[in-house]
């Protein structure tokens, strides 16, 4: 009896193998479906069971020598005394922030054992040299944001300026800031036919305010606003002088105009029309006085 059952089973298996190995339309169809859907099924299972997340990010931007890399070092190690060099490429570090507050200084709030809930984020230092600023501007585009999950991705921009040298470097700092604000303004307007991107606020970190020659935050704000207004008018005039067709001047001028179109003077308050909040806060990286900046970041994360 056992021999008969075994023989029957072997014969059935042989029949199945012969059927599979014999070319036929059903075999080809089944094989095609297996090749097509099995990899998709495996990919689905892996992506939905692997615990990975896309961290929120804060971009550090600003002219060379303003103190961006020193700020990154301070927030990462708690000490900004180590020598830094001019960044040639974007560099990101992972930091932890206590979202419930309660810690008196950023050094305590950035610790993993700080009180309250903790969230991680990426702080991205970008080059400040004129030829390398595209690293920051490229990250402000909508395409970068679309790769992240809702509620994550780009959260804000910290634009660092040297408040002690702004009187001499205002033009360069304002020109870079103009490009940053214009990129964010265009990004905000990119959601006309799709979901509007989340607003990206800007913190202008007036660094080195502990030096005697440093301008206070209020004067940094007014100096940058005045310079941005001049740049806006200059670029508009340059477009008129470039020979662009009269029918195209209006649209191109408006596309490159930061803030309220046609306004005589520029103010950061005009950026609220595009849901872009701009704040100017003083601090000092070398003096360790960056708690206001850290609190600003913590509120966004």
Q: Are strands 202-207 and 154-162 parallel, antiparallel or unpaired?
A: parallel
Asked whether residue 120 carries a pLDDT value surpassing 50, the answer given is yes
Q: Report the distance separating Cα 301 and Cα 299, nearest Å.
A: 6
Q: Are residues 151 and 39 in the same domain?
A: no
Q: Are residues 146 and 34 in the same domain?
A: no
CA distances from 203 to 26, 45, 104, 296 (A): 64, 41, 21, 8
SS (H, E, C) the chain: CHHHHHHHHHHHHHHHHHHHHCCCHHHHHHHHHHHHHHHHHHHHHHHHHCCCCCCEEEEEECCCCCCHHHHHHHHHHCCCCCCCCCCCCCEEEEEEEECCCCCCCHHHHCCCCCCCCEEEEEEEECCCCHHHCHHHHHHCCHHHHHCCCCCCCEEEEEEEEECCCHHHHHHHHHHHHHHHHHHHHHHHHHHCCCCCCCCCCEEEEEECCCCCCCCCHHHHHHHHHHHHHHHHHHHHHHHHHCCCCHHHHHHHHHHCCCCCCCCCCCCHHHHHHHCCCEEEEECECCCCECHHHHHHHHHHC
Asked whether residue 217 carries a pLDDT value surpassing 80, the answer given is yes
Q: Are residues 205 and 63 in the same domain?
A: yes
Average pLDDT over residues 217-239: 89
Range scoring the smallest mean pLDDT among 6-15, 88-97, 246-255: 246-255
Q: Are residues 261 and 142 in the same domain?
A: yes
- Note the pLDDT of residue 150: 43
Averaged confidence pLDDT in the chain: 79
Average pLDDT over residues 79-108: 72
Q: Are residues 40 and 65 in the same domain?
A: no
Q: Are residues 203 and 232 in the same domain?
A: yes
- Note the pLDDT of residue 110: 55
Q: Are residues 21 and 116 in the same domain?
A: no
7 token code pair:
């023989």
Give how many domains the chain has, as a whole number. 2
Asked whether residue 225 carries a pLDDT value surpassing 50, the answer given is yes
Q: Which residue has the higher pLDDT, 70 or 43?
A: 70
Asked whether residue 147 carries a pLDDT value surpassing 70, the answer given is no
Q: What is the CATH number of the domain that holds 255?
A: 3.40.50.300
Q: Are residues 26 and 103 in the same domain?
A: no
Q: Out of 13, 32, 49, pick the residue that ends a domain.
A: 49
Contact between 69 and 84 under an 8 Å Cβ cutoff? The reply is yes
Tens digit of each residue's pLDDT (9 = 90 or more) over 173-200: 999 999 999 999 988 876 555 566 678 9
Contacts of 173 (CB under 8 A, 6+ apart): 62, 63, 66, 161, 162, 166, 224, 227
Contacts of 271 (CB under 8 A, 6+ apart): 181, 184, 185, 202, 258, 259, 277, 278
Asked whether residue 49 carries a pLDDT value surpassing 70, the answer given is no
Q: Are residues 29 and 177 in the same domain?
A: no
Q: Are residues 189 and 211 in the same domain?
A: yes
Tens digit of each residue's pLDDT (9 = 90 or more) over 55-82: 889 999 999 989 999 999 999 888 767 6
Average pLDDT over residues 240-267: 70
Q: Are residues 157 and 20 in the same domain?
A: no
Show the domain range for 277: 56-300
Q: Are residues 87 and 212 in the same domain?
A: yes
- Note the pLDDT of residue 246: 46
- Note the pLDDT of residue 254: 72
Which pTM was predicted?
0.74
What residues pair up with 279 in beta bridges, in sequence order?
A: 203
Average pLDDT over residues 203-213: 94
- Note the pLDDT of residue 144: 47
Helix axes 246-255, 217-241, angle to 10 degrees: 160
229 token code pair:
């207004």
- Note the pLDDT of residue 113: 58
Range scoring the smallest mean pLDDT among 41-50, 217-226, 227-236: 41-50
Surface-to-core class of residue 247, CB atoms within 10 Å of its CB (0-12 exposed, 13-18 middle, 19+ buried): exposed
Average pLDDT over residues 274-300: 93
Q: Report the distance separating Cα 115 and Cα 4, nearest Å.
A: 74
């Amino acid at each position: 009896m056992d021999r008969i059952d075994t023989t029957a089973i072997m014969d059935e298996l042989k029949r199945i193998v012969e059927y599979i190995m014999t070319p036929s339309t059903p075999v080809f169809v089944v094989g095609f479906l297996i090749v097509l859907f099995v990899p998709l099924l495996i990919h689905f299972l892996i992506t939905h069971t692997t615990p990975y997340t896309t961290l929120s990010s804060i971009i550090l931007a600003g002219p060379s020598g303003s103190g961006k890399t020193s700020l990154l070092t301070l927030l990462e190690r708690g000490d900004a005394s180590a020598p830094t060099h001019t960044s040639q490429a974007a560099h990101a570090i992972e930091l932890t922030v206590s979202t419930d507050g309660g810690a008196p200084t950023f050094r305590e709030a950035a610790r993993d054992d700080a009180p309250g809930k903790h969230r991680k984020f990426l702080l991205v230092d970008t080059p400040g040299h004129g030829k390398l600023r595209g690293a920051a501007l490229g990250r402000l585009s909508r395409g970068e944001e679309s790769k992240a999950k809702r509620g994550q991705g780009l959260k804000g921009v910290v634009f660092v300026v040297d408040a002690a040298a702004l009187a001499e470097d205002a033009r360069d700092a304002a020109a870079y800031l103009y490009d940053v604000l214009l990129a964010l303004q265009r990004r905000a307007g990119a959601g006309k036919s799709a979901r509007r991107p989340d607003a990206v606020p800007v913190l202008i970190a007036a660094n080195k305010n502990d030096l005697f020659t440093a301008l206070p935050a209020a004067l940094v704000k007014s100096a940058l606003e005045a310079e941005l207004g001049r740049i806006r008018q200059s670029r508009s005039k340059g477009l008129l002088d470039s020979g662009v067709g009269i029918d195209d001047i209006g649209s191109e001028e408006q596309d490159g105009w930061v803030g309220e179109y046609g306004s005589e003077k520029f103010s950061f308050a005009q950026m609220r029309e595009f849901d872009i909040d701009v704040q100017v806060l003083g601090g000092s990286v070398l003096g360790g006085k960056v708690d206001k900046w850290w609190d600003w970041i913590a509120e966004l994360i």
